[in-house]
Amino acid sequence: MVRELRRDRTGFVLTVGPTVAARRMRADAVVLAVPAAPASRLLAELAPRASALLSGIETASVVVVTLAFRASDLVGNDNLDGSLSGFLVPPSEGRRIKAGTFSFAKWEWVRDAGGGDVVHLRLSLGRHRQEAAVRASDEELVAWSRHDLGLATGLTAAPVASHVQRWGGGLPQYAVGHLDRIAAVRAEIASVPGLAVCGASYDGVGVPACIASAHRAVADLRAGG
């Protein structure tokens, strides 16, 4: 963990490691590939305006519940015949889940992992300013997922296995004016030679967007000399 970031005449000095055994390391350049909150904390002295702007980005916590079913349990279910890759659930529906991904239909390698006998589905829970999903027990989350999946697809069979993964504050929320906010953040960051930022808080939360953000950060460093 990086606990402090500052700059001196020769480059950057980072304080890293646990508080009881913190150490310092030097770097010629730094890319902050962290969520908005820790980026804000680390930039407080180097780029105070960027720090303040990043602190205003809210996040949503999400839980991903993976369910494994016998392939035979899906036979005859038109909603799970492989022609669809999943569904989204708007808040107006009043359901616990917000999305379902038919992983076995979306990615061939997932289907292959099941060996033809088992298929995997994923359900996402948790919305902006609704932290109940993260605080619920694994058993509750699996039960809610199974219930809402059954309502959406008609699948009532019991899964042969389940896995729950929590991502606290994992999804940055892009409020109105986000593009202007990020432009202002990057403008101040550009005034600090050797410093760049990237990640889901800037240009998109998907993997391709994060990769593009990383490429941009490297390009910014190179352009800055």
Residues 214 and 128 in one domain: no
Cα 224 to Cα 97: distance, rounded to the nearest angstrom: 45
CATH number, domain with residue 125:
3.90.660.20
Q: Are residues 79 and 133 located together in one domain of the fold?
A: yes
Reading the block at residue 44, the tokens are 């407080």
The CATH number of whichever domain residue 216 belongs to comes to 3.50.50.60
Buried b (16+ CB within 10 A) or exposed e, 215-224: ebbeebbeee
Locate tokens 């908005």: which residue?
36
Clarify whether residues 68 and 151 are in a common domain: yes
Nearest to 80 by CA among 53, 66, 100: 100
Q: Which residues contact 171 (CB under 8 A, 6 or more apart)?
A: 59, 60, 61, 62, 128, 200, 205
Cα-Cα-Cα-Cα dihedral sign, residues 46, 50, 56, 57: negative
Of the residues 130, 147, 171, the one at which a domain ends? 171
Looking at the structure, do residues 95 and 178 belong to the same domain, yes or no? Answer: no
Examine the domain organization and report whether 41 and 106 are in the same domain. Answer: no
pLDDT at 21: 92
Burial (CB count within 10 angstroms: exposed 0-12, middle 13-18, buried 19+), residue 50: buried
What is the distance between the alpha carbons of residues 223 and 195, in angstroms, rounded to a whole number?
11
pLDDT of residue 129: 84
**Tokens 């504050």 sit at which residue?**
169
**How many domains does the structure of the chain reveal?**
2
The verdict on 76 and 138 lying in the same domain is: yes
pLDDT at 225: 61
Neighbours of 22 (CB within 10 A): 12
- Verify that 167 and 182 share a domain, yes or no: no
Residues 104 and 166 in one domain: yes
Provide the residue-wise pLDDT of the chain in tens; the chain has 225 residues.
Answer: 999 999 998 899 999 999 899 999 999 999 999 999 999 999 999 999 999 999 999 999 999 999 999 999 999 999 999 999 999 999 999 999 999 999 999 999 999 999 999 999 999 999 888 877 788 999 999 999 999 999 999 999 999 999 999 988 889 999 999 999 999 999 999 999 999 999 999 999 999 999 999 999 999 999 876
Q: Single out the residue in 171, 186, 215 at which a domain terminates.
A: 171
65 shares a domain with 159:
yes
Helix or strand run (H / E) with residue 151: helix 138-153
For residues 139 and 181, state if they share a domain.
Answer: no
Note whether 164 and 186 are same-domain residues: no
The domain in which residue 38 lies consists of 2-57+173-223
For residue 41, give the 3-state DSSP assignment. helix
Shared domain for 34 and 89, answered yes or no, is no
List all residues 6 or more positions away from 21 whose beta carbon is below 8 Å from its beta carbon.
none
